[in-house]
Amino acid sequence: MTDQQPDPMALLDLMFPSTVPCLAVAARYRIADVLVDGPRSVEDIAEQSRTTASALHKVLQVLAEDGIFAEVKPGVFENTPLSTLLRPDVPQSQYSMARLIGEPWLWSCWGRLDHSVETGKAAFDEIFNINTWAWFGQHQDEARLFDGAMTDFSEALGERIVQSYPAAGKAGVIADLGGGQGTFLATFLAAHPSIRRGLLVDLPPVIQKAKERPELADLVGAGRLDFVPGDFFQSVPSGVDLYVTKQIMHSWNDERLVALLRRCRESSPGATIAAAELVQRPGVPRFVKNFNLIMLITMAGAIRTDDDFAAVFEQAGYRLNRIVPTDSAFSIIEAVPVP
């Protein structure tokens, strides 16, 4: 604490998080695609995107403040490296994620952050009287957008994570639990031809969508990728050398996670666990802290510390072997069965 006079504007700037909805709007109306051939006036952009020029101008000016688009002269905007990632067809695109952060259901949860802080429970459940996964089962459009955002996330960071864990190449059979559309598992299989077989495990509706992805057809045709529809809390594949997960452990409390890990221990007693997860520790990026809040309000989940992971694995019959950093916000938490 210092005697320096506080600047009210510094606090006021933080009170208006308009970048988030503006990003969602820019993605929804494909503004980055409109600007792909170079700078255009806001009137031209509005005409192409079927928006109102005066309103769109306000949105683009806010985004330009953060380096997302650039106002090269008054009323004329162009893409920047960041805005290019709002295009759905570019490498490492974050188009679906930008759409997701503006979804009404998620904004509703932010509006009940107080409920989560008071109770430790998900604001989502309080608002919708149902948990997130069950709600997605009833709202297919929202579920597709969520799946798309997770796929974008995997495609952007998955290769970095896989490259940081060469030990996966020693596995003959690898199972991705909660693997969604299969992008993460496919990255492992592409990086390590020595892996004979990959098993994609998720709920039946998710697996059905994965089966329809042409990107997986070659792996399926070569017999290296199989689909395992079902609830992994009820059963997991046996005969597995390595169970991998990405970005799912923070969705569940300790009791549920221990139950899942025990299933793995029973089904494949000698298998290693390699979980690509965010880890809560001093000095983590702001993204990790923000994501921790999203998990709280949507699922009552949490990002665990090193000690938290060690305790959970110990209860399930594993020993935390090491935490491998990656060239991303994620780490690989590796656990081996206790003899």
Active site residue 250: yes
> d(Cα 289, Cα 213) in Å, to the nearest integer?
33
Asked if 173 and 264 touch (Cβ cutoff 8 Å), the reply is no
Query: Catalytic one among 57, 115, 192, 250?
Result: 250
Rg (CA), the chain: 22
3-state SS class at 236: coil
Burial annotation 47-84 (CB, 10 A radius, 16+ → b, else e): eebebeeeebbebbebbbeeebbbbeeebebbbbebbb
Asked if 316 and 143 touch (Cβ cutoff 8 Å), the reply is no
Kindly list the distances between the CA atom of residue 201 and the CA atoms of 142, 162, 172, 198, 204, in Å, as whole numbers in the listed order.
Answer: 21, 18, 17, 10, 9
For tokens 């297919």, the residue is 140
For tokens 């290693």, the residue is 272
Question: Which residues belong to the active site?
Answer: 250
